[in-house]
Amino acid sequence: MGFVPEMLENARNPDHSYPLAIHIHAAVFVGWMVLLTAQVLLIRSGRIRLHRRLGQGGAVMVPVMLGVGFWAAWTVDTASISAGTANGAFLAIQGVALVIFGPLMTLALYCRRDPAAHRRLVLLATAPLVDAGFARWWHPALRPLLGEDFFGKLAGFSAGSASIVLAIALYDLATRRRIHAAWAAAAAFYAVAELLSIWAIISPWWPPMARALLGV
């Protein structure tokens, strides 16, 4: 829902082309969602051995996701800054999604013998990656209502992943009558990282620092 309109516009306007990094980023990140969906279906069908075997191969995707994600962010941001359409502040949003994903997925792989912790950590690690799709879907329409202050940007950029994080907590309360410890620790890390990213993009010190990190 977030990206299809842009894909259709790109198909109608062949003069508008994306760099190679964006095509690879799209393929890898969609591949991750396909893998996640397949793993869920394998568990639900009781094919635990195949789930574990596929998970071993899927673990290789974690560093690939991080590398491709930072490459795509650098490509888009440097081009936007050079064109004068951005100041580099958005690097905070892009970077924090990967900063959350990397440690939580590493912890999820470490906790793979604890299914309850493992699946919560995988979902919490993946949640920030869908913020871009949600934001492209609703942020343009909500921007006039939400404004450009801290809470407006928080709702516009982070509400999608926050709803997933909250849904896991509600599921725990409904089925377990308590919050799982893995969710509590991971959600705290997620919340701090997301809040810091929003604080950064509205702070005057961050854009020049971001440009320095990007080398532009």
Where do the domains of the chain lie?
A: 4-214
Asked whether 146 and 98 are in contact (CB, 8 A), the reply is no
The answer, yes or no, to whether residue 71 has pLDDT greater than 90, is yes
φ, ψ dihedrals at 144, nearest 5°? -60, -30
Those residues with Cβ within 8 angstroms of residue 208's Cβ, 6 or more apart along the chain or in another chain: 88
pLDDT of 104-141, one tens digit each?
999 999 999 999 999 999 999 999 999 888 888 877 77
* Model pTM score: 0.90
The CA distance from 74 to 69, in Å, is 9
Give the tens place of pLDDT for each residue, 153-188: 888 888 889 999 999 999 999 999 999 999 999 999
pLDDT band (50, 70, 90) for residue 12? confident
Q: For 93-104, write each residue's pLDDT tens digit.
A: 999 999 999 999
Q: Judge whether 129 and 29 are in contact, CB under 8 Å.
A: yes
Q: Is the dihedral of CA 11, 20, 25, 86 positive or negative?
A: negative
Contact by Cβ (8 Å): 186, 101? no
pLDDT exceeds 80 at position 86: yes
